[in-house]
Amino acid sequence: MHHFRYSGSDLHCESVDLAAVAKLYGTPTYVYSAATIADNVTRLQRGLAGLDAQICYAMKANSNIAVLRHFANLGCGFDLVSGGELRRVLVAGAEVKRSVFAGVGKTEAEIKLALENEIFSFHVESEPELVRINHVAGTLGVKAPIAIRINPDVDAHTHAKITTGKSDNKFGIPLKYAAAAYEAAAKYPNIHVKGVQMHIGSQLTDVSPFVEAVEKVAPFAAELKAKFGISYFSVGGGIGIVYRDALASGPQSWWDAQPEGKRPITPEAYGAALVPLLQPLGLKILLEPGRFMVGNAGVLVSRVEHLKRGAGKNFLIVDAAMNDLVRPAMYESFHEIVPLRRDTSRRALVADVVGPICESGDCFAKDRQLQEVGEGELIAFLSAGAYGYAMASRYNSRTMAAEVLVQGSKFELINSRESFEHLVAGEKVPAFLK
């Protein structure tokens, strides 16, 4: 569900014409819908009714400080994975107290920063990490709240690069060693055993792996509550979104029309499956959704540079590239591509949609059917709000794109397009080369 629609023939984000945004701020530009984010938060909260639930938005998906502030205003905490992310939470004027710190390689400096800002809990991935957290907490004279991440060995049936809950992934501690890990954790003088955590993967389109994982971990969570008095169970993130037919995916009728087994997870279905399993535990339940919250709330607007007609192949060359949106190159992922101005009288065009970067991997879509568009016209990559700008780079010395937030008929630049001067600001020629 999202707020990107054609109004007449022009693609709008809420009440804002995307062409007007492109005219003002240029391209490529990410545009996010504040209403979509708010709706996603509300729907997930409603789906979890009956639980004492706390949403910790996985800010790795989109960490713009305006987006973070919006989440904080909506009552969310954050799932963060670095000192940089923690500092973004502070800059956004949001609370670290409602946030959890995940990741397999937290440094001493990061642990210290989190403790100084009263992090809700650390999600611990190994015994050596516990030793380190205990040590840093000791130097500060505090007790560090922790949960151990359990790897439930469940197949999430998603892309190999984003599956995390199998025993051959680097994440968490296998369930069979978890009891011993908790016994050890409880003995550290500067550790407060506060909860238990799991996360099995990203872009799950079926609730059954979540159910399987919760069924495996819930009895253990109950034991931990009895033994150590833990107060929360984090079930991680991973709820998938619609990438195909993303524009049509608003109404319930679209969802009903999908074949059985191909329907994306709704927050209602997620809640209906998990609430009965979690409620009896009597624990606070944390959720760490990233993609579900922001994925369909963002598009990447780009301008067509050329339509190159090759031998048996057309190439639509646009001004966005793999450095701006790496997901298709990295995960072979699908993003819907639509014109900003829809014109049904135009012919169809089948083309590879590519960026200007000098490698063949800089391809957003192969043999994609589109409305014919030409030089200077605008297109949008849909469902780009999660892991879009957040994974962007400066490859080919391309500067970082601009970001804009829309709310109703208002829109504002929330990150200006990077300048060349900023791009090279930290670089210099050493004296021995002069």
* Complex with ligand LLP: residue 170 or 422, whichever CB lies closer: 170
Residue 171's CB is within 10 A of a number of other CB atoms, namely: 22
Which CB atom, from 149 or from 303, has the smaller least distance to ligand LLP? 149
CA distance 31 to 385: 8
The answer to whether residues 101 and 82 touch, using CB atoms and an 8 Å cutoff, is no
Q: CB 244 → ligand LLP: shortest distance, Å?
A: 15
Which of 288, 336, 352, 362 contacts ligand LLP by CB under 6 A? 288
In DSSP terms, 145 is beta-bridged to 192
Spatial separation of the C-alpha atoms in residues 354 and 339, rounded to whole Å:
15
**Residues 6 or more apart in contact with residue 374 via CB below 8 angstroms:** 304, 307
Q: Closest distance between ligand LLP and the C-beta of residue 121, in Å?
A: 12
Cβ nearer to ligand LLP, comparing 27 with 202? 202
Q: Which helix (H) or strand (E) holds 320?
A: none
Q: Which of residues 35-54 bind ligand LLP (CB under 6 A)?
A: none
Single out the residue of 53, 102, 114, 281 in contact with ligand LLP (rule: CB under 6 A).
102
Encode 288-298: b = buried (16+ Cβ within 10 Å), e = exposed.
Answer: bbbbbbbbbbb
Binding of ligand LLP by 129 (CB under 6 A): no
Please, what is the minimum distance in Å from the beta carbon of residue 161 to ligand LLP?
Answer: 7
Q: Based on CB atoms, which residue is closest to ligand LLP, 28 or 290?
A: 290
Instruction: List, in sequence order, every residue forming a beta bridge with 175; answer none if it has no partner.
Output: none
Residue at 314: amino acid letter: N
Going by C-alpha positions, the residue among 240, 231, 234 that lies closest to residue 270 is 240
Q: Which of 174-182, 216-224, 234-242, 252-260 is the region at the interface with ligand LLP (rule: CB under 6 A)?
A: 234-242
* Residue environment code for 44-81, b if the CB has 16+ CB neighbours within 10 A, otherwise e: bbebbeebebbbbbbbbbbbbbbbbbbbbebebbbbbb
**d(Cα 117, Cα 311) in Å, to the nearest integer?**
60
Cβ–Cβ < 8 Å for 379, 338: yes
Q: Chain-centre distance of CA 125, in angstroms?
A: 20
Instruction: Among 21, 54, 78, 79, indicate the residue that binds ligand LLP (CB under 6 A).
Output: 79
* CA atoms within 13 A of residue 98's CA, in its CB half-sphere: 22
Q: Site for ligand LLP (CB under 6 A): which residue of 327, 335, 341, 398?
A: 327
Count of residues near ligand LLP by CB under 6 A: 22
Task: Mark the segment that binds ligand LLP (CB under 6 A) among 250-258, 259-267, 289-297, 393-401.
Answer: 289-297
Measured from the CB atom, the residue of 254 and 331 that comes closer to ligand LLP is 331
Q: Which is nearer to ligand LLP, 11 or 205 (CB)?
A: 205
Q: Identify which of residues 13 and 102 has a Cβ nearer to ligand LLP in the complex.
A: 102
Applying CB under 6 A, the span of 17-25, 284-292, 371-379, 408-416 interacting with ligand LLP comes to 284-292
Alpha-carbon distance of 365 to 382, in angstroms, equals 13
Nearest Cα neighbor of 67 from 33, 23, 44, 43 is 33
Which of 195, 267, 290, 339 contacts ligand LLP by CB under 6 A?
290
Query: CA-to-CA distance for 315 and 16, rounded, in angstroms?
Result: 30
User: Where in 195-224 is the site for ligand LLP (CB under 6 A)?
Assistant: 199, 202-203
Q: How far is the CB of 24 from ligand LLP (least distance, A)?
A: 28
CB of residue 160 to ligand LLP, shortest distance in Å: 11
Residue 200 or 379 with smaller CB distance to ligand LLP: 200
Positions in 139-178 near ligand LLP (CB under 6 A) = 162, 164
Q: Which one from 13, 56, 76, 358 is the annotated catalytic residue?
A: 358
Collapsed DSSP state (helix, strand, coil) of residue 47: helix
Pairing mode, strands 10-13 and 4-7:
antiparallel
56 is known as an active-site residue? no
Which one of 237, 264, 328, 355 is in contact with ligand LLP (CB under 6 A)? 237
Site for ligand LLP in 370-409 (CB under 6 A): 387, 391
Can you tell me which of 291, 335, 341, 398 binds ligand LLP, judged by CB under 6 A?
A: 291
State the residues that interact with ligand LLP by CB under 6 A: 58, 61, 79, 102, 162, 164, 199, 202-203, 236-239, 288-292, 327, 331, 387, 391
Q: Which amino acids are annotated catalytic?
A: 358
